[in-house]
């Protein structure tokens, strides 16, 4: 077992397959921190602006090299079951269930309201997964799930 202490948190994207990446990230950051300094933390942009404005300095924005992403710009997708009855977001979503990580995050509130409109979003039933990983990869654990919002 490693004695390394995490000096940063990237909790929203922590999944078993990425543990080596997080260990390397923490080791690299620890080399540049003063003893007893405040750790770094990943935070969603919406809560940062809404709840923590002026309290922290943004020091980095991830640059993703993944299909569907455009560098440092925010990217998200709505996913529906392949053989389900939902082919697009144009129809009535009243009573449909959607997995989102948190109701006060970009992907849990700001993006769906922007994409669907406030009235349509009000009819959707949120299923809070607690993390991006859970919403995207394991969202199928929710019964009667119609949509997953992944970012």
Separation CA 135–CA 149 (nearest Å): 7
Has residue 123 been placed in a domain? yes
Has residue 38 been placed in a domain? yes
CA-to-CA separations, 139 to 10, 41, 119, in angstroms, rounded: 20, 25, 24
| Residue 58 parent element (H or E) | none
Separation CA 16–CA 22 (nearest Å): 10
The number of distinct structural domains making up the chain is 2
DSSP state, residue 73: B
What is the per-residue pLDDT for 2?
Answer: 45
Closest CA relative to residue 151, chosen from 74, 58, 86:
74
Has residue 136 been placed in a domain? yes
Domain that holds residue 12: 8-42
Has residue 124 been placed in a domain? yes
What is the per-residue pLDDT for 3?
Answer: 47
pLDDT tens, the chain, 151 aa long:
444 556 666 655 666 777 787 778 777 777 777 666 666 677 777 778 888 888 878 877 777 777 877 877 878 888 887 777 788 888 788 888 888 877 777 878 888 888 888 888 888 877 777 777 777 766 656 666 777 777 7
Closest CA relative to residue 44, chosen from 118, 90, 92, 105:
105
Question: HSE-up of 123 (CA within 13 Å, CB side)?
Answer: 12
Same domain, yes or no, for 88 and 145? yes
Same domain, yes or no, for 83 and 140? yes
What is the per-residue pLDDT for 9?
Answer: 63
Has residue 133 been placed in a domain? yes
């Amino acid at each position: 077992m490693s004695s390394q202490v995490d000096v940063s948190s990237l909790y929203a994207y922590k999944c078993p397959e990425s543990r080596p990446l997080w260990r390397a990230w923490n080791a690299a950051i620890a080399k540049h921190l003063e003893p007893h300094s405040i750790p770094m933390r990943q935070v969603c942009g919406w809560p940062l602006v809404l709840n923590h404005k002026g309290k922290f300095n943004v020091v980095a924005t991830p640059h993703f090299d993944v299909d569907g992403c455009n560098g440092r710009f925010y990217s998200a997708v709505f996913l529906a079951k392949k053989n389900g009855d939902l082919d697009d977001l144009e129809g009535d979503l009243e009573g449909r269930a959607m997995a989102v990580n948190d109701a006060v995050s970009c992907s849990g509130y700001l993006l769906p309201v922007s994409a669907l409109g406030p009235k349509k979003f009000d009819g959707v039933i949120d299923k809070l997964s607690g993390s991006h990983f859970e919403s995207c990869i394991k969202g199928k654990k929710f019964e009667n799930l119609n949509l997953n919002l992944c970012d």
